Amino acid sequence: MDREVQQLVEMGATAGQARAALNKYKDVMQAAEKFFEGEFENVAGDDSGRAHQAHSSATSRDPDVEMDQEDDDGELEDDEGSDAYIDYDSDDDGGMPGDSGAPKVNDPYAGIFFSKDRREEVIEIEEQSVFVSVPEINEKVEVMTQGRWMAGCAEGGEQSFLFSLYSQLGQSQLSDLDGVCPCPSGCGQTVKRQQSDFFAIYPKFSTYIQHLQSKVPQRCPKCQTEFCFACGEKISQDASDPLWHCSNLQGVILGVGLFMIERLFEQQKEESEIKETTERETKRRKTRDIDDDKIDTGSGKTKGGVGYAGELKEDSSGQAEAQANQFAKDSKIRALLAEVRVYLPSLQRPGGARPSDYLPHPSSLTHLRRRFNLITSELLRNDSLADMSDRHGLYFELLEWLETISSHESLCSMMPMPIMRSVSQQTVVKKTNTSTIRERKIIYEGSASPRELLEAISLQAQAALKGLESSKPPEDPSPEPNEEQKRKTVVADKGKSKGDALAEGNFDETAKLYGFCNRLLATTVQIDRSLRELKGDDFVTRMHESLPKAYTSASDTIYVDAGDTEEDAKEAYVKWATSSRFEYCDLTIPTTDNSDETLNYKHYFNNEIRMLANASIPKRSVAIAKELAILTTNLPVAWDSSIFLKVDDTRVDVIKCLITGPEGTPYHNGCYLFDVFLGANYNQSPPGVKYMTTNGGKYRFNPNLYADGKVCLSLLGTWSGPGWVPFKSTLLQVLLSIQSMILCEEPYLNEPGWASNAGTPQSKAYSANVRRMVVKTAMLDALQNPPEPFEDVIRTHFRLKARSLKKQLGNWLREDDHRALASDGAEYSSAGRNSSTSINDFKADIDTLKSLLNDL
């Protein structure tokens, strides 16, 4: 079966219909259009029993999709009696045609799945840019070469559609038949097409559209017949806009428009990266100069403890200017996206759908998957819902695109399809006797689909709305300001300080965040509804099962198998921790009566929590909403160290945190509990954080973790160094600082003035003492008396880690210095060394812990 027949079969034709269409119409695209118009409906063929699948894309067969009727060689089976074939369009609910006793098939897409485990290698030709003079605008414009037109396409089948359209509308050197448009009346007159007719890249998309509107309607100089320059067919007299005449125009307009969007997006991205690199280097030089000043030079200056005793202040200058620049960039992309979106296939088009809306050009899906998907991927990988809300204009337009695409039968499949992203490029230069050819070998790999990326943001939006429950905006909020009003606001804010500019209008910010979250969730619902209507309930159910689950409720606890090897345990651990890192639960203390007395909480900050019961502080609610949005999907999860949060169901300002000790530190695999409260002045002030794993207030695990639970950290205002920045610093930053900078490799160095003692006997002795405290309290006691509400988390953590933890304990016992456990460990007296007692105590703790691990 040759390639052209294969393409038509993949669109739903039988082999006989495909051959008949190609015999009459040599061009595969024209043959496809005539087939869909029903011209070859009565043609019998060797596989005439195969019906067109109403719910599959009418454009191309996607390599991500595996169909049951494929054989091992990838060829579609043509046997009329193939058991794999099911007529999805029949009225017998999926039974075999002609077999009333066949089992019913409720899920016609049961044989279709989307896999990210794909890798494609593509060779692309780098062509020199071509420019032509355009008298209308009195300047030269670039003409998109064939290489630029086809760049970024990882699918062989889709490349053929792009090549076919470019050859038809451009001036190809491969055939004299391409690049010309014959008069449809049959008078023999032809009009030559130039590449610049359809593929010129104008400074503005609107100028390109105006150019097409003047170029597309052609009048034959011989017989005066008016015809479309893109498809060569007659234009009806009642055509209000020639650009809606045929799908060829739709394909080329989307291709050029998306290229312009992608180019603008990449240019802005490169500019931002260059600016960030420059700013980082400037900040690094300042930091280095400050550190040099702090090194002991004999004048009494000494370098402070690692990460804490520095005097570097957070530079918040230029924030308003950066926001204004970002707004300007977003406005350009948003405007271009809105202009191009008009030409997306849409059956809900104002004024009624056009012919190309019903039968999109096969390259439309290709353009969207290559160019728009990459932009979607970049924007939805933004891990900050707050940033998205601030840039809501751009993101609202993105959501409009996703809704329009998902609502069309031929395009909706790209929502759950993995995005093919370039992971490596290699340029190869080939020289011939006459020219030099530059080729790029590009490796593409599957990544998260648009729907999967949207899921992570949707989870953040749900968490943010939960945080906004206490300060919902009015039912009829004021309308969104127009672009001119927004510009005036930015100008007015330039003279204000950062705190003033960000603190004012908090109610408006509440409404903005509330509206954005609801719009985002509405788009997610709309996409799923469209997929359900077009693909069926079972398809959507399977898709949801494959989506990441960022957080669970306490009632969703399930058993996780550790497997047979450590690699199995690592994989199981990361999967379990990802779904368990953020959970809602009840942190209140149960009462025996039904009184209306203010609830008490199992929390260090219980008194402060009770004082804020029923309080409505809009600024605080917005800050908490943004915080929850970040935490749901950004808490670090790894075999080496993870952070788990439990948030009260009804008081989302009440939080408990568990951090597992990082590998390579004396805290490794221990469980460290912190009580966190987002107080009345949050986020203008840092959260309240109390360390709870202290063995009843006896052990000081670190110079920055006191036995009374005090956490010394510059972000919390309890240590010198870069402090809390209102409206910018986050709880996540605090938790990450504790995980990486306090639970560190040499905790002895965290004390100011001791930073030069790395590797000294004092530092090693301090770490050895920490290990003894960790085994006794953060491991053994945590297992025997797991703190609420982390019982299941702690037991699962130790059960999955049991094999590796036993080895770790053996190494710690061999490395122990045989000293007695000290509650602080900062200093040891010579009398503190007692081999027989201390080693036996430490060994007894380890033996008991190993026994508990075996029981798990």
Long-range contacts of 14-22 (CB under 8 A, 24+ apart): 14/43, 14/45, 14/46, 14/47, 14/48, 14/50, 15/45, 15/46, 15/47, 15/78, 16/43, 16/44, 16/45, 16/46, 16/47, 16/48, 17/43, 17/45, 17/48, 18/45, 19/45, 20/45
Local structure of 192: helix, strand or coil: strand
Contact assessment for residue 627 and residue 730, using Cβ atoms and an 8 Å cutoff: yes
Contact assessment for residue 8 and residue 157, using Cβ atoms and an 8 Å cutoff: no
Q: Measured between alpha carbons, how far is 389 from 489 in angstroms, rounded to an integer?
A: 17
Question: Could you give the C-alpha distances from 538 to 13, 127, 190, 456, in angstroms and in order?
Answer: 26, 46, 52, 22
Mean pLDDT over 843-853 rounds to 92
Helix axes 791-815, 566-580, angle to 10 degrees: 140
Q: Which residues contact 565 (CB under 8 A, 6 or more apart)?
A: none
- Statement: residue 177 has pLDDT above 50: no
Half-sphere exposure of 243 (CA within 13 A, CB side): 20
Query: What six digits make up the tokens of 347?
Result: 């059956």
Query: What six digits make up the tokens of 633?
Result: 């999907």
Mean pLDDT over 670-688 rounds to 95
- Statement: residue 124 has pLDDT above 90: no
Going 80 to 83 to 89 to 91, the CA torsion angle's sign is positive
**CB 655: neighbour CB atoms within 10 A?**
27
Q: Which residues contact 828 (CB under 8 A, 6 or more apart)?
A: 765, 769, 819, 822
Question: Could you give the C-alpha distances from 14 to 46, 71, 360, 612, 614, in angstroms and in order?
Answer: 8, 17, 21, 71, 68
| Range picked from 115-119, 156-160, 322-326, 638-642 for highest mean pLDDT | 638-642
Query: What six digits make up the tokens of 172?
Result: 């190809």
Question: Could you give the C-alpha distances from 260 to 154, 201, 399, in angstroms and in order?
Answer: 20, 8, 19
* Segment 273-286, tens digit of pLDDT: 887 787 777 766 66
pLDDT computed for residue 107 by the predictor: 63
Helical ranges in 774-834 per DSSP H? 782-784, 791-815
Q: Measured between alpha carbons, how far is 404 from 419 in angstroms, rounded to an integer?
A: 18
Query: What six digits make up the tokens of 599?
Result: 């609830």
* Segment 1-11, tens digit of pLDDT: 466 776 666 56
- Statement: residue 504 has pLDDT above 70: no
Local structure of 455: helix, strand or coil: helix
Q: Measured between alpha carbons, how far is 782 from 799 in angstroms, rounded to an integer?
A: 13
Question: Among the listed ranges 12-16, 281-285, 552-556, 767-771, which one has the minimum average pLDDT value?
Answer: 552-556
Name the nearest CA neighbour of 732 among 582, 637, 630, 621.
630
Contact assessment for residue 633 and residue 383, using Cβ atoms and an 8 Å cutoff: yes
More confident site: 702 or 47: 702
Q: Measured between alpha carbons, how far is 139 from 204 in angstroms, rounded to an integer?
A: 13
* Segment 715-766, tens digit of pLDDT: 998 877 788 999 889 999 999 999 999 999 999 888 877 777 788 888 999 9
Looking at domain 552-855, its CATH class is alpha beta
Catalytic residue list:
712
**% of the chain beyond a pLDDT of 70:** 75
Q: Measured between alpha carbons, how far is 251 from 162 in angstroms, rounded to an integer?
A: 9
Q: What is the DSSP letter of 369?
A: I
Mean pLDDT over 526-555 rounds to 80
pLDDT computed for residue 49 by the predictor: 34
Q: Measured between alpha carbons, how far is 112 from 13 in angstroms, rounded to an integer?
A: 19
Helix axes 247-294, 156-169, angle to 10 degrees: 120
Name the nearest CA neighbour of 240 among 337, 344, 340, 349.
349
Q: Is the omega angle on the peptide bond into residue 477 within 30 degrees of 0, that is, cis?
A: no
* Segment 223-256, tens digit of pLDDT: 889 899 988 888 875 556 788 888 999 999 999 9
Terminal CA-CA length for the chain: 60
Contact assessment for residue 57 and residue 67, using Cβ atoms and an 8 Å cutoff: no
More confident site: 295 or 318: 318
Q: For the chain, how big is the Rg over CA atoms in Å? A: 33
pLDDT computed for residue 60 by the predictor: 35
Backbone angles phi, psi at 848, to 5 degrees: -65, -40
pLDDT-derived band at 556 (thresholds 50, 70, 90) equals low
Helix axes 618-634, 450-467, angle to 10 degrees: 140
Query: What six digits make up the tokens of 760?
Result: 């000294």
Query: What six digits make up the tokens of 54?
Result: 């109403």
- Statement: residue 62 has pLDDT above 70: no
* Segment 592-637, tens digit of pLDDT: 666 557 789 999 999 999 999 888 888 899 999 999 998 998 899 9
Q: Measured between alpha carbons, how far is 25 from 13 in angstroms, rounded to an integer?
A: 15
Q: In what order do the strands lie in the sheet with 419-431?
A: 119-126, 436-447, 419-431
Going 544 to 548 to 554 to 560, the CA torsion angle's sign is positive
pLDDT computed for residue 636 by the predictor: 94
Q: Measured between alpha carbons, how far is 311 from 303 in angstroms, rounded to an integer?
A: 11
Contact assessment for residue 722 and residue 737, using Cβ atoms and an 8 Å cutoff: no
pLDDT computed for residue 827 by the predictor: 62
Mean pLDDT over 176-185 rounds to 73
Beta strands in 96-192 (DSSP E): 119-126, 130-134, 139-143, 180-182, 190-192
Name the nearest CA neighbour of 317 among 293, 282, 288.
282
* Segment 559-585, tens digit of pLDDT: 788 888 889 999 999 999 998 999 999
pLDDT computed for residue 789 by the predictor: 93
Beta partners for residue 227, in sequence order: 218, 234
Domain(s) labelled CATH 3.10.110.10 in the chain stretch across 552-855
pLDDT computed for residue 651 by the predictor: 92
Report the run of H or E that residue 502 belongs to, with start and end.
helix 498-503
Q: Measured between alpha carbons, how far is 654 from 599 in angstroms, rounded to an integer?
A: 12
Local structure of 413: helix, strand or coil: helix
**Per-residue DSSP letters for 228-271?**
ETTT-PBPPTT-S-GGGS-HHHHHHHHHHHHHHHHHHHHHHHHH
Local structure of 347: helix, strand or coil: coil
Pairing of the two strands 436-447 and 688-691: unpaired
Contact assessment for residue 12 and residue 32, using Cβ atoms and an 8 Å cutoff: no
Calculate the average pLDDT of the chain: 79
**CB 417: neighbour CB atoms within 10 A?**
21
Q: Measured between alpha carbons, how far is 27 from 710 in angstroms, rounded to an integer?
A: 77
Name the nearest CA neighbour of 501 among 678, 628, 322, 627.
322
pTM here is 0.73
- Statement: residue 505 has pLDDT above 60: no
pLDDT computed for residue 849 by the predictor: 94
Chain centroid to Cα 502, Å, comes to 27
pLDDT computed for residue 547 by the predictor: 84
Looking up tokens 């929390």, which residue turns up?
A: 603
- Statement: residue 150 has pLDDT above 80: yes
